[in-house]
Structure 1
Amino acid sequence: MTLKEQVEKRRTFAIISHPDAGKTTITEQLLLFSGAIREAGTVKAKGKKSNKFAKSDWMEIEKQRGISVTSSVMQVDYDGCQVNILDTPGHEDFSEDTYRTLMAVDAAVMVVDTGKGIEPQTKKLFEVCSMRGIPIFTFMNKLDRDGREPLELIAELEEVLGIDAYPMNWPMGMGRNLIGLYDLYNQRVELKGHDEEDDVLYIPLDEEGQAEGDHSFKQSTIYSQALEDAQLLNEAGNDFDRDQVLAGKLTPVFFGSALTGFGVQTFFDAFIDLAPSPSVTETIDDQLVEPTQSQFTGFIFKIQANMNPAHRDRIAFVRVCSGAFEKGMNVTLGRTGKTIRMAHTTQFMADSREEVQEAVAGDIIGLYDTGNFQIGDTIYSGNKAVQFKALPQFTPELFMKVTPRNVMKQKSFHKGIEQLVQEGAIQLYKTYHTEEYIIGAVGALQFEVFQYRLLNEYNAEVDMTPMGSKIARWIDPKDLNPNMSSSRNLLAKDRFGNPVFLFENTFAENWFRDKYPDIELKQLL
């Protein structure tokens, strides 16, 4: 198979949603239909004795809290395609991880709770996808429960998100009254089985849009209403246009239930047909790197410590942008010019891994990292230098002072902080003169995860003292006078030694700017 043929069979996408919309549950169903797992886990275990957890939630804290706190990668074969699924945290406190992950995908699946509609975090993540112009496929979830009217949900999606919608199927009832789906895309009715053991029944539509044959459900008002809605959509709704889908202007909408699996395979089949294969990647000088070019290139969008706690390992997640990777090849790390031999690389099923021999554009591979890599790094083969555009960075807004509770475990404390900070969710600072540790984050839940992981992965118990919200602003070292620091603007150093002021509030920042008008304060370096 040629490189072009291999790339065309790649589908790399992220699943986004507001917390509890069912994002991780649908991920499990996709893995189930691909044959990757035999039984779908759920985010929350059913009962104290159950060990049935979501495959994509592999951290112990995720299993305890019932939430995703880190993006996870799963790679499966489906219908002749290599599918790379990136399950992302829904909670806004972990949005930084999600934003970076969205830079590494070619499409997004947006999961919406039919009982709640478009929620704040869904809107934020949609906007990131929209800025990139990537295709968005919508799955209206929880059809097994009573929810809002489908027409109302479609209207809200278009009005709140500003994107046209095309319903690929239409619910015939909801909750206990759910009969099935009127499938406009496949021109059939998909009937729900009486229980989870029953097979789904597909009935083709005739030329008039009626389900063929004599069936009792055709006499119900639920079926009549679905048929009426479908005819209305055909006459007054948007036309289906695949080019508009690929441009991120039109979202195909599917209804179903991730919990029971109903409608999920229909969605997944259509997604594989319609979603794009890998496309070009922009460099820092606005050049376009084609996925089928022979030179291997990629960028690091995530670093994860302790995926195997027994080995204290770190994995750098790489999106392959062009060419083909082969085990043992040499690459150049763009930031340093250093040559690195990629001898130990891996593919993923959440926390499960296997050695990867080869990969092509669109694939996600993991590099064992001994401290060489940073988030946003570009790697490439050959002599032609490549530098991809920077990934989004976020200035922390909340800060904590951190001290080890046991001075005898200073080594574990320092190693833990160093490795967890490299993941990019927590930022590390030291006070300028006394070098006390300060950590910053965009969300408070990050601190809880940080403290939990220090204790459980590094055996380092810490005391954390809240400093509240601060405004972090960097300053050029040559402009720095330590006497500029005061009780309202604490002077610190970031983990690279760059000076940064932590201002108490906007008033303190403006006071500083007025006093030192020639000094430039930067939000990020």
Structure 2
Amino acid sequence: MSSATQDVAAPGVAAREAARRRTFAVISHPDAGKSTLTEALALHAAVISEAGAVHGKAGRRGTVSDWMEMERNRGISITSSALQFSYGDAVVNLLDTPGHADFSEDTYRVLAAVDAAVMLLDAAKGLEPQTLKLFEVCRAGKVPIITVINKWDRPGREPLELLDEIEKTIGLRPTPINWPVGIAGDFRGLLDRRTGEYVRFTRTAGGATAAPQEVLKPVEAFEREGDVWETALEESELLEASDSDHDQEGFLEELTTPVLFASAVQNFGVRQLLDALVEAAPSPAPRPSVSGERRPLDAPFSAFVFKVQAGMDTAHRDRVAFARVCSGVFERGMVVTHGSTGKPFHTKYAQSMLGRERSTLDLAYPGDVIGLVNANALRVGDSLYVDEPVEYPSIPSFAPEHFSVVRAKDVGRYKQFRRGIEQLDHEGVVQVLRSDLRGDQAPVLAAVGPMQFEVAAYRMEHEFGAAVSLEPLEYQLAMRTDPDAAPKLSRLPGAELLTRSDGQALALFVNRWRLSTVAREHPELTLEPLVGGRANG
């Protein structure tokens, strides 16, 4: 995104470049088509020439944003990735997120780094539990939402019924930007509610390339589609009469949600979503620090780390910290200050990411995501800055609900075992808990969902060469406590005290009944809920 003709240090450059940025994430319930939509957006922006999700069992390929082998084998996203591309005069930063509820903590971190979200709904299922939980995360973070009703090429519910469900369930007034021509399962095109024109689509083989579209005037649309077009017009007029036209101010205040209809797998309606994002989604704004002050976009460079990931490049086994730029201009090679340690951090190896693929990044502006390679000292939530110190709010961990003891299968691989456990803990793949009683050779892994254990075991074997065994524990919840509680908790059945790697003492309980009993019988113990919870912070 660099420009050889402009002085990157000139006043106003960061703010002008930020105005071009649209940084957003896609959230959905598993199997709503999130990764397919991500791929389709990149396809329409000409980042890739052919979509990876070519359907048909014999020819299915993984999407480019799904780089981990487990993701390709299972057909789901279990990590997040960052894609950047130009679209017209805009620069789009698309942060893909895990597609499984067990990895909602990773999604929570991503949502802390975006300015808007696309909420993807299945036309047949509407709002589902995981979508609702992630919506609450967006609401808590004041992230405006654009809604996409996907899979309109398959049988589904009535569009007006879906809008009614959105308004009644989450309290946002739906304001459709376009309207489907043809019922779910007979997707012919879209009525553009702003122009009154008909956008007619033509299918491509497997949806692997951008679907050709033909724009017709209303008279031509009626001649082509007849009653189907008339039905779409009548329903659109009902929406207008009920004050359901797009309201930009209401959208930015999180009172309304623009709605679009699409079939990501057929690449229908994807260009319309890109246009809506560029036109309606907010550009980066001054971000508040922990003190409450907002750092101006043109202030010296600052950023915060929202994700740490290792193993993306198996040839080098490097570690990448993903940082969202908040202010100023980032120039590769600049020396920044690591906020939590006060030490200098060199940025020689800065890259942009497209799934596993990467390229050198020379410049970045507010809203952009930087991949900092071999950033061993950086952790999720860390702030980086130049000249003027700033600390951005930390990203809280979720309260774990599943616990397993992990051991190396081969004691001769203990060095690799220890290094792997430290790395997974550093990334936030799992939380690692320890105690003197259990020792370093048998730490406890704590997770929001059980699939996190599968990922941890897979990576321990394939990245670190240390196959592990997992022994599930019966605990179901953890509470914040202090080390002084250890002697009493050690004598109580159904409870145990362990220490997290950040030094926080956690009291584990087999169930809420046991917790309430201990709290009642030992009121002197500190037992407080952890910040964050399953998928809803």
| Shared fold (TM-score, shorter chain, > 0.5) | yes
Please name the residue that 2:287 is paired with. 281
**1:335 CA displacement:** 1.3
Please name the residue that 1:83 is paired with. 92
The equivalences for 1:193-212 within 5 A come to: 193=202, 199-204=212-217, 211-212=218-219
Query: 387, 392, 395: which one pairs with 1:388?
Result: 392
Instruction: Give 2:309's aligned amino acid.
Output: Q
1:482 and 2:487 aligned: yes
CA distance in 2, matches of 1:20, 1:258: 12
Query: 360, 364, 382: which one pairs with 1:359?
Result: 364
Query: 163, 172, 175: which one pairs with 1:166?
Result: 175
SS at match of 2:98: coil
**1:509 CA displacement:** 2.7
Instruction: Give 1:178's aligned amino acid.
Output: F
| Higher RCO (CA 8 Å, separation ≥ 6 residues) | 2
**1:45 CA displacement:** 6.4
Identity fraction in percent: 40
Query: 420, 423, 426: which one pairs with 1:422?
Result: 426
TM-score, normalization by structure 2: 0.91
Query: 256, 262, 278: which one pairs with 1:256?
Result: 262
CA distance in 2, matches of 1:351, 1:13: 19
**1:36 CA displacement:** 0.6
> Can you give the 5+ residue segments of structure 2 that lack an aligned partner in the other structure?
1-5, 7-12, 532-537
**1:154 CA displacement:** 0.8
CA contact (8 A) 1:45 1:53 kept: no
1:7 and 2:12 aligned: no
CA contact (8 A) 2:123 2:184 kept: no
Distance 1:281 1:471, change over 3 A: same
Please name the residue that 2:77 is paired with. 68
SS at match of 1:24: helix
CA distance in 2, matches of 1:503, 1:131: 28
Distance 1:225 1:489, change over 3 A: same
Q: Give a deviation string over 1:297-349, Cα, whole Å, max 9, x none.
A: 11111110111122221111101011111111121111111121222111111
Query: 461, 466, 470: which one pairs with 1:455?
Result: 461
Please name the residue that 1:150 is paired with. 159
1:342 and 2:347 aligned: yes
Query: 187, 190, 193: which one pairs with 2:196?
Result: 187
SS at match of 2:463: helix
- Provide the aligned C-alpha RMSD in A: 1.9
**1:86 CA displacement:** 0.5
CA distance in 1, matches of 2:524, 2:140: 34
Instruction: Give 1:16's aligned amino acid.
Output: I
**1:16 CA displacement:** 0.5
Q: How many pairs align?
A: 513
Distance 1:492 1:186, change over 3 A: same
Instruction: Give 2:456's aligned amino acid.
Output: F
Query: 399, 407, 411: which one pairs with 2:411?
Result: 407
CA contact (8 A) 1:96 1:425 kept: no
The equivalences for 1:205-244 within 5 A come to: 211-213=218-220, 216-218=223-225, 220-244=226-250
Please name the residue that 2:534 is paired with. none
**1:447 CA displacement:** 1.0
Please name the residue that 2:326 is paired with. 321
CA distance in 1, matches of 2:30, 2:185: 24
CA distance in 2, matches of 1:312, 1:195: 39
Q: Give a deviation string over 1:350-372, Cα, whole Å, max 9, x none.
A: 11111111111100001124531
1:21 and 2:32 aligned: yes
> Can you give the 5+ residue segments of structure 1 that lack an aligned partner in the other structure?
205-210
Distance 1:313 1:212, change over 3 A: same
CA distance in 2, matches of 1:413, 1:335: 27
**1:195 CA displacement:** 5.1
Distance 1:482 1:370, change over 3 A: farther
Please name the residue that 1:523 is paired with. 529
Distance 1:73 1:385, change over 3 A: same
Distance 1:331 1:439, change over 3 A: same
